[in-house]
Structure 1
């Protein structure tokens, strides 16, 4: 393809290497294979374009090299609740996809020895590892297929285009056999500290799940794709008591409600066991301390939309736990006295 050094986004290259305290030079990019000689000049390699290419170059040459995320209502793909097409590079998607997952999954609160422990619905470290592996091993030459994250009521799936390399089986993968499809991408990911030793990913993923009390993920080959399926943490399942198809309402950018104990510093005018999500619990804590917390504060704290925060507040008002006092523009919320 007709490419030039200008098709490489130098700003992106510098930003990602700066995050790991590395200065990057032309020689370094040549060593990694991000730049390769062609016709007496240096041009970006395919891997270099996929990771650091300008938006125009990637859309022209590798339009499938992006990640798409979706949250579905039930256990199939009939109805969306939330979706996000990450049109930046797949490296940028590794930063954004976890945020999408966080705002579309649940937390359980576990209190031990006077300390609260938040348990995410899915294992954060194992998910990160799987996302990195998906970027490293995807077949970006397949048309009409992209990296995908799909969240259902009963599972989370990460899917990358491209089967296992020819002759390699899932048993080989689990035994630590590693065959790289994208050598440039693999080198860069390692240089950026996103992978450790190739061939150890399965072990790290399953060990992270075991240590966190999560079910072991499942690897599946579906046609030209490789899919990893995660199941929710038992503690998160236990606090919902809601059928899988009904766990999420029709709102966007929300997490499911969970039953948690109201913090001890919330006074007696709030019932002891209030069905509340983590954001609502935090809001009750702030109001108990006399803070004039607003929807924007909740949105900023938990990286959700203000619409989601307002919905949390409206729910607490409807249940008679908080009330709004004062004028619309200058008033504030407070805990409602129990009658």
Structure 2
């Protein structure tokens, strides 16, 4: 991944809990990778027959078939053995509180798992994103930014200042930090100001239900995402700018709810001629940021999004293959329904609903008509 061109890595997420799959997908997206999610052994095998993946995030307790069998630990262990034997890519195993004993971790590593992470991912000693990058580094698919020498002086305290908010990243202290779609939506809403010019405070429930956020995991999903965002900002800025950003320096959460710190000035969209690059994110001469605009920028209120051009094909690396197929067919005028997705991809109805729900939450499509005969169309 070092050097001139940067390829997009793709992960297969295997977890029968759609909420957990969403959390993992956010983490994978924030690393700049694409992903697909399945909920059982059969769906995983079907995806492997048609799609190449660079790595896998596997929940051990999964069913064999969607909605027709019980989730069992042995099913995940069997699939782990298959994935390791196929040598398709590293497998990071995740597990819930009930099964995270040391014996199980040892058993997974003996079978060939690259790592073993307990849920929830933001409370353990090691984070899921660091486990993913370490596993990819071992197989030569991730090259950390080389560091000539470690700083001899202590990091500088965060001074406050401007934070530039783009659709897929933010820029702070001259450092680019990648964002998942949910992270961006949260920051965009928190950037709203009152008539007095103060940043608006929101509770976790208010953010989850806000039209500009729509987090179906509720306040727990908001809390998890903000926790991950804080860690990502802190680690990235410390590494690349030697500046220490505290938990409350960007998003405050004491007293009034979640709100942007008064020490931060949020600038939405690109308006500066050049940015300092960091890590493996590189701005080329034709980056739209340098021309004073970015077609990916979204207004703070999330409402003034221009209509999509139906003549422009959809190929968004942030979307799964199923979602790109859905968007392509809707653009062609096809009246897409859940059954069409299930039949074409031979996936479960639950998986198809999750893909369509995410597209609706991102304000790409909407449902029109009655529940029985309606269909999806572009926003």
Structure-1-length-normalised TM-score: 0.30
Question: Which one has a bigger Cα radius of gyration?
Answer: 1
Which structure: greater strand fraction? 1
